[in-house]
A and B are shown apart, each in its own frame.
Chain A
Amino acid sequence: GAGVSQSPRYKVTKRGQDVALRCDPISGHVSLYWYRQALGQGPEFLTYFNYEAQQDKSGLPNDRFSAERPEGSISTLTIQRTEQRDSAMYRCASSLTGGADTQYFGPGTRLTVL
């Protein structure tokens, strides 16, 4: 596609529910990244994929968070048993290759946990 797309753009859920956030990277981009951005702050790294392999998940806050990219394209970030502190903007980015390449960001998913 022309750019990185994310869905849904907005998600409101009740505490304790599971949510799945989707990222569709730029076609042909090998690397995919997830970040989380709190209000008034810059994004913080969550996890990184090279093709389908999850290379780094050190930024995932706890084991309620998981991510996958089974075919090396679309990725899903799943949050189980959501809590109010999970409310944030979740941003996905992709790059042609990893390392020093420019990262291109999608519009983000605004998650609100009531």
Chain B
Amino acid sequence: KQEVTQIPAALSVPEGENLVLNCSFTDSAIYNLQWFRQDPGKGLTSLLLIQSSQREQTSGRLNASLDKSSGRSTLYIAASQPGDSATYLCAVNGDYKLSFGAGTTVTVRA
């Protein structure tokens, strides 16, 4: 069974600082890995999807890397803003079902 771990569980930074969120998984036989953002009372918003053949994916201030052989992914958020405050979830797609980590809750202080 795929196990997904996210460290740290919570993170508080001042505005403008770069964020580094970590995700590790136990089974490297994956199709892809998705990073989601979760806001209270709302659905999960897909931020980035990295295919298993890719090493990284970028969207605006977001950059995600994938090292499939070591079972690790990192999400970088540059120049954080208070609006980046949310819970970030990592999900690994092994066939069609997603296996999620418990998330990292980020607070960006103005």
Residues of A within 8 A of B (CB): 3-4, 31, 33, 35, 40-45, 48, 55-56, 59, 91, 93, 98-100, 102-108
Residues of B within 8 A of A (CB): 4, 31-32, 34, 36, 41-46, 49, 51, 89, 91, 93, 95-103
Contact call B102/A40, Cβ cutoff below 8 A: yes
Contact call A102/B49, Cβ cutoff below 8 A: yes
What is the interface of chain B mostly: helix, strand, loop, or mixed? strand
What is the interface of chain A mostly: helix, strand, loop, or mixed? loop
Contacts of B51 in A (CB 8 A): 100
Closest Cβ of chain B to A90, distance in Å, is 12
Contacts of A104 in B (CB 8 A): 46
Contacts of A45 in B (CB 8 A): 97-99
User: How long is the Cα–Cα vector from A33 to B96 in the complex, in angstroms?
Assistant: 9
